[in-house]
Structure 1
Amino acid sequence: MLKFGLLGEKLEHSQSPKLHQQLMKDKGIDGTYELIEISKDAFEDTFLSLKNSDFRGVNVTIPYKETVIPFLDEISPQAKYIGAVNTILFSNGKAKGFNTDYFGFRALFEHNNIKAKGCNAIVLGAGGVAKAVQKALCDMGIFDLTVVSRGKENFHNQYTVSYDFYKEKRPKTDILVNCTPVGMYPNINASPLPKALMRAKIAVDVIYNPEETLFLKYAKELGMKTINGNLMLYEQAAKAQEIWENETL
C-alpha cells in the first residue's frame, strides 16, 4: 500500500484526503492519504523522519511551501523559479520538490476559456500560491501584472504595490486574482478588498472553501465573471498523483 499525506500547520478543514482517495480509487491505486499537522518548531524533525519512512510522497500547504525548500535534494524548474513547493516525491532516499499549483491555475484558465495573453492582471498576495499564479500568468502571455502585498517582497522584478497604494489609485484591470487566505473558512465574512475597490472584468479566487467567498460575491454583484478555486484544487492534486506515480516534471 502506498502512503501519501499533507503537511501543514492547521489542516482540520482540508479536502485533500477525500480528493486524493477518489483519485487513487479511480486509478485503482491501493493507497492512503493522511493529514500531518506540524508545528513550526517541529517541522525539520518531522520532515526528515517522513523522508526516511515508507511515505511515497506528500503535499505541502500553509505555511511550509517555502520553508521546505532547504530540505529538498532536487527541485523542478517551475518550483525553483517560483520559490515554493507544494508536492514532494520521496524516491531512493531523496526528496524531490514540485509546484503543481502552477499547473492547476493554468488548467483553471483553460477550462474557463480565459485568454490571458495581452490582458492586464492584478494579483492580491505574495505567498507561495501567489508566486505560482504570477509565473503561470506570465507564461500565458499576460501583458501587464501588478502584485498587491502587505510586505515588500518582489518576485522576479514584478511590479509590487502596497494595499494603501492600491486603495489610493483604485486601478482597473482585466483579471483580478485573490491569492490571500482572506475569506477562507471559517473566516468567511472577510474580503481582501472592499467592494468599492474592485474594478475588473474577471475575478478569480484560489480559495475553494467556501465555494463563493465574499470577494467573489462582491465581484458577481458588480457584474464580473467569477471563478473559484475548486478546479485548481482538483487539477493540482491530479498533477501531484501523476508525479508520485510516474515521477514526471
Structure 2
Amino acid sequence: MKHYGLLGGKLGHSLSPQIHELFFKYTGIEGDYTLLETTQEDLPKRMEELRANYAGSNVTIPHKLHVMPLLDSITREAKAIGAVNTIKFDENGAEGYNTDYFGFGRMLEYNNIDVRAKRVAVLGTGGAARAVVKYMVDKRVGKLYLVTRDVAHVDKDFLKIAPKCKFIDYDGLAALTGDVIVNCTPVGMYPKVNAAPVTPEEISNFDAAVDLIYNPKQTLFLKQAAEAKMQTVNGLFMLVAQAVAAQEIWQGEKYDSELIVKIMQDLEQTI
C-alpha cells in the first residue's frame, strides 16, 4: 500500500482525507492519506521523511512557497504561479506541481465556460487568484481585470503571470461589463457568510459567476448572481478536481469527470 498525505499547518478542518479516501474507494486503488501537520522549522526534516516513505503529498498553507527550495524539480505552471500544492516522490526525486491550475480549468470545462477571447474579472489578488490568472492567460483570455482594494500595493508577481492584465479597484468595477466574474476572496465564507465582495448590480454586468468558495454551497455572491439569471458555479468541483489531478500525477492515469462528480456528490452530504 502506498502512502500519501497533506503537508500544512493547522489541518483539523481539511476535507482532503475524505476526498482521497473516496477516490481510493471508487478506483479500488490501495492507498492511505494522512494529515501531516508541520511547522516551517520542521519542514526540511518532514520532507526527508516523505521522500523515504511516501509516494506523494499535497501541500497547503503555509508551506506552498516554503517547500519549493526543498524540491528537485518544479513544473512550468507551478513556477509561474509561484506555489506548489502537490509533490510526487519517485526514483527521480521530489517534483512539485500546482493542481489548483488544473482543477480550476477542469471546473470551467465541465460547466462549459470558455474564457478564450472573453472579458473576465477576478476579485482578489491573494494566493488563490494566482492559479486562476495563470489558467486564464494560458487559455488566451481576451481582457483580464484584477480587482483589488489597493492597486498601488498589488503583488507585482501578477504582472509576470499576466503582463497585459489591468488592475482596478472595487470602485472601478461598477463601470465594467464582461463575460465571467470570479471570486477569489474569502468574502462569503464563515464568518462572513452574509457578505458579498461586490454589489448585485456589479455582478449582473457579467454572464457567469464563479466562486472558489464551496462552503456554504451558495454564497451571497452566487445567490445574487442566480437572482440575476446568471450561470453560477461554486468551488466544490474545483476542490475535488485538484485532488483527482494530484492522483493522476501519482498514479500515472487519467480519470474522467464522472469520478469527480461522484466524489463531489458524496462530499455534499457532509458539508
Same fold (TM over 0.5): yes
Asked if the contact 1:167–1:197 (Cα under 8 Å) also holds between the matched residues in 2, the reply is: no
Match of 1:189 in 2: 194
Task: Give me the whole-angstrom Cα distance separating, in 2, the residues matched to 1:77 and 1:115.
Answer: 23
* Among 140, 152, 155, the residue aligned to 1:153: 155
Mapped to 1, the partners of 2:72 and 2:166 lie a distance apart of 31
Q: Deviations over 1:121-169 (max 9, x none)?
A: 011222333111112112223101011234411322243535xx23145
Instruction: Provide the residue aligned with 1:237 in structure 2.
Output: 243
Where do 1:1-249 residues align within 5 Å? 1-39=1-39, 41-42=40-41, 44-45=43-44, 47-92=46-91, 94-149=93-148, 150=150, 151-154=153-156, 155=158, 156=160, 157-161=163-167, 165-170=169-174, 171-198=176-203, 199-246=205-252
Decide which structure has greater strand share: 1
* AA of the residue aligned to 2:145: T
Alpha-carbon contact 1:58-1:87 (below 8 Å) kept: yes
Deviation beyond 3 Å, 4+ runs, structure 1: 49-53, 194-197
Mark the CA change 1:33 to 1:231 in structure 2 (over 3 Å): closer, same or farther.
same
- Which structure features the higher share of helix residues? 2
Alpha-carbon distance in structure 1 between the residues aligned to 2:105 and 2:187? 22
Over 3 Å counting, the alpha-carbon distance change for 1:110 and 1:246 in structure 2 is: same
- The change in CA–CA distance for 1:6 and 1:158 in structure 2 (over 3 A counts) is farther
Identity of aligned residues (%): 45
Task: Flag the 1:117–1:21 CA change in 2: closer, same or farther, 3 A.
Answer: same
> Structure 2-normalised TM-score?
0.81
| SS of the residue 2:55 aligns to | strand
TM-score, structure 1 as length reference: 0.87
C-alpha RMSD over aligned residues: 2.3
Say how many residue pairs are matched.
Answer: 245
* SS of residue matched to 2:87: strand
1:202 deviates by 0.8
